[in-house]
Amino acid sequence: MVRLSKIATDEKAEKIYDARLMKRFLRYTLPYKGLLFLSLSLLPAISLLALVQPYIIKVAVDNNMVPRVTEGMGLLVLFFTMAVVTEVLIRMFHYYVVQSLGQKVVYSIRKELFNHIQKLSLSYFEKTPVGSLLNRVTNDVESLSEMVSSGVVSLMGDIITIVGIAAVMIILNLKLALVSFSILPLLLVGTLLIRKGMRKVYREIRIKLAEISAFIQENVAGIKVIQLYLREKKNEENFQKINGAYFKATLRANFFDAFLFSFVEIAGAFAVALILWYGGMKEMEGAMTFGVLVAFIEYLNKIFVPIKDLSAKFSVIQAAMAAMERIFSLIDTEPDIKEPSAPLMMKEISGKIEFNNVSFSYGRGKVINNLSFCVDAGEKVALVGATGAGKSTIIKLLSRMYDVTEGNVLVDGMDIKKMSLGQLRKNVGMVPQDFFIFSGTIFDNISLGREEIDLNNVKVAAEKVMASRFIEKMPRRYYSEIKEKGVNLSMGQKQLLSLARVMAHDPKILVLDEATSSIDVATELYIQKGIRTLFEDRTSIIIAHRLSTIKDVDRIIVLHKGEIREEGRHNELLEKKGLYYRLYQLQYQDQESFNAA
């Protein structure tokens, strides 16, 4: 079912740092360089305020508490309070600035991603699982925002704080500083090792989470089949496997978290013990003041937090690097079908279609083989042939959902590859086999947001194809809400809706791919008239397995394995007693007798 390996390979080996990616990413922060500058310039102020606090305590201890002097104590308390309050206020402001910077950057990246995804060609979506695209736009983008807000900027803040505290400690008392720092290598190596293990676990957690969401996504989409074929039990087992792996990975991550926390606590206590032992002795020897000792313990507490977080921030940056790589590779994916560099715009299109020696392959084996035919402007042509003969493929080539492998397709004598893609698609109106209904109102679904199409156009179109009959019965008529994928409509109603859609858009070339297959015979006969008006003044290509829609077309093209086998009017082809005749015998005879009855 779900191609889990595909999701897993999405997670490439993570690079620690990639200057090329970072440079490209930084370009997105350029429009907000004011915010970036502000957030960076606040960092030294925050560090300075944090640094000053233990020093005030030192002065209070040495100048007031030990010699029991009350004078000046009030001022020191005031300074201390002001330092703490100002630090907290600036931090708060800084947090807001950094968060908005992160959100602004990912806002524009998300926008670019979505716009880019919309431009990609059909072939891309056919080979890319939806889940992985969703991941790009949500999780990956989010990890970029995390990098801005709690990675890069605060990493710089941490480094400033660590260097500042170390400098003050050295100035206060070099020997005591060296004694306190003696614990740092142990702390650094220890946390790095623990983090290394953590990174592996967190990576596994991410992969398992992606698998869970892909699994759920596919199973919800296919829930009907699952329930009808009683696959629930089997699915439960499969899900349990992924869920179990995820569960175990999170347990391991929790263990690492607890371990890291305790390790840092113990290392911190050890450092304080060292200071108490060494500094205490020195103080008693009179080589050092009591205030310095107190200040050192305070500074140690302050330096441990950023050191502990240092490796966590590297992980955030590392994860973001991987996300950046995936995001940029998606942005760099060029659509297969591109607008020509100098698109030719035609004044008006009359709708003549030519296929010249067209061959096409989806990758392996030719699906269309050296096919040539011509449809005159205003002509109505039907394509028939067995399942898999290549009928839908032909019309995908006509609207440039795919480009031909060999030969060319012309509209009004112009190669469609040279035409503006917009003009081509505006003029080729298609009701595909797997049409799509969006959530929104009936009106939205027919007009699809095109401005020239107002309620009146929609009503006229719906009346012509007889869709108005069911629409008028709905509670809010043209403003009735349709649920996602049109679940509150029947298959036939959805088809009528997509017929009304193409009617309202009024294209010069009309393509119906099995457009009436789900409409009951009585309604179909009823809407025949409507469909006939749909054909007026335009070139039409109709693909239908049901005879009723194609019997009176100008010409029928019979396809077999991507080649034209027969061509002619209904009666001529029947007289030939060839492939069409056989198809007719197999498919339409029953229905003919039904219609006659």
Ligand X SMILES: Nc1ncnc2c1ncn2[C@@H]1O[C@H](COP(=O)(O)OP(=O)(O)OP(=O)(O)O)[C@@H](O)[C@H]1O
Least separation in angstroms between CB 387 and Mg ion:
8
Report the residue from 369, 433, 457, 518 that binds ligand X according to the rule CB under 6 A: 433
Tell me: does residue 392 bind ligand X (CB under 6 A): yes
Neighbours of 357 (CB within 10 A): 12
Judged by CB, which is closer to ligand X: 401, or 471? 401
Per the CB < 8 A criterion, the answer to whether 242 and 212 are in contact is yes
Judged by CB, which is closer to ligand X: 144, or 389? 389
> Measured on CA atoms in the order 220, 226, 230, 231, is the torsion positive or negative?
negative
Q: Which one of ligand X, Mg ion, none is in contact with 63 (Cβ closer than 5 to 8 A by kind)?
A: none
Per the CB < 8 A criterion, the answer to whether 479 and 411 are in contact is no
Judged by CB, which is closer to ligand X: 155, or 394? 394
Least separation in angstroms between CB 126 and ligand X:
5
Q: Which one of ligand X, Mg ion, none is in contact with 387 (Cβ closer than 5 to 8 A by kind)?
A: ligand X
Q: Are strands 539-543 and 509-513 parallel, antiparallel or unpaired?
A: parallel
CA atoms within 13 A on the CB side of 240: 6
Judged by CB, which is closer to ligand X: 426, or 560? 560
CA atoms within 13 A on the CB side of 287: 10
- Closest to 371 (Cα-Cα) out of 539, 560, 508, 582: 560
Phi and psi at residue 200, in whole multiples of 5°?
-60, -45
Judged by CB, which is closer to Mg ion: 453, or 553? 553
Least separation in angstroms between CB 565 and ligand X:
13
Tell me: does residue 371 bind ligand X (CB under 6 A): no
- Closest to 246 (Cα-Cα) out of 308, 300, 204, 194: 204
Helix ranges restricted to H, 150-231: 153-172, 174-181, 184-221, 223-228
Q: How far apart are CA 432 and CA 127, in angstroms?
A: 20
Per the CB < 8 A criterion, the answer to whether 398 and 592 are in contact is no
Separation of CA 2 from chain center? 18
Per the CB < 8 A criterion, the answer to whether 292 and 172 are in contact is yes
Binding region for ligand X (CB under 6 A) out of 56-64, 265-273, 380-388, 546-554: 380-388
Report the residue from 71, 126, 237, 332 that binds ligand X according to the rule CB under 6 A: 126
Least separation in angstroms between CB 123 and ligand X:
7
Count of residues touching ligand X (by CB under 6 A): 12
- Closest to 420 (Cα-Cα) out of 335, 537, 493, 338: 338
Q: Identify the helix (H) or strand (E) that includes residue 563.
A: strand 563-568
- Closest to 157 (Cα-Cα) out of 45, 76, 64, 68: 45
Q: What are the start-end ranges of the E strands in 22-169?
A: none
Query: Residues 444, 446, 447, 449: what is their CA dihedral angle, to the nearest 10 degrees?
Result: 40
Report the residue from 341, 387, 456, 571 that binds ligand X according to the rule CB under 6 A: 387
Tell me: does residue 588 bind ligand X (CB under 6 A): no
DSSP SS3 for 401: coil
Residues 231-290 binding ligand X (CB under 6 A) are none
Q: Which one of ligand X, Mg ion, none is in contact with 393 (Cβ closer than 5 to 8 A by kind)?
A: ligand X
Tell me: does residue 367 bind ligand X (CB under 6 A): yes
Separation of CA 18 from chain center? 23
Tell me: does residue 482 bind ligand X (CB under 6 A): no
Least separation in angstroms between CB 375 and ligand X:
17
Neighbours of 23 (CB within 10 A): 9
- Closest to 381 (Cα-Cα) out of 505, 509, 506, 516: 509
Residues 304-363 binding ligand X (CB under 6 A) are 362
Tell me: does residue 64 bind ligand X (CB under 6 A): no
Binding region for ligand X (CB under 6 A) out of 50-58, 174-182, 391-399, 531-539: 391-399
Q: How far apart are CA 24 and CA 47, in angstroms?
A: 30
Least separation in angstroms between CB 448 and ligand X:
24
Judged by CB, which is closer to ligand X: 123, or 480? 123
Least separation in angstroms between CB 537 and ligand X:
27
Report the residue from 389, 453, 512, 534 that binds ligand X according to the rule CB under 6 A: 389
Per the CB < 8 A criterion, the answer to whether 319 and 21 are in contact is no
DSSP character at residue 475: T
Which residues share a beta bridge with 356?
A: 408
- Given the rule CB under 5 A, which residues bind Mg ion? 392, 433
Q: How far apart are CA 383 and CA 371, in angstroms?
A: 13
Q: Which one of ligand X, Mg ion, none is in contact with 367 (Cβ closer than 5 to 8 A by kind)?
A: ligand X
Which residues share a beta bridge with 414?
A: 411
Separation of CA 170 from chain center? 51
Least separation in angstroms between CB 566 and ligand X:
15
Residues 90-119 binding ligand X (CB under 6 A) are none
Judged by CB, which is closer to ligand X: 371, or 465? 371
Least separation in angstroms between CB 499 and ligand X:
18
* Contact code string over 492-531 relative to ligand X, x by CB under 6 A: ----------------------------------------
Tokens of residue 526, six digits: 């009823």
Tell me: does residue 467 bind ligand X (CB under 6 A): no
Binding region for ligand X (CB under 6 A) out of 25-33, 71-79, 259-267, 389-397: 389-397
Least separation in angstroms between CB 559 and ligand X:
7
Binding region for ligand X (CB under 6 A) out of 4-12, 385-393, 442-450, 588-596: 385-393
Phi and psi at residue 527, in whole multiples of 5°?
-85, 0
Q: Which one of ligand X, Mg ion, none is in contact with 388 (Cβ closer than 5 to 8 A by kind)?
A: ligand X
Least separation in angstroms between CB 510 and ligand X:
17
Binding region for ligand X (CB under 6 A) out of 57-65, 91-99, 188-196, 383-391: 383-391
Least separation in angstroms between CB 483 and Mg ion:
26
Contacts with ligand X, residue ranges (CB under 6 A): 126, 362, 367, 385, 387-393, 433
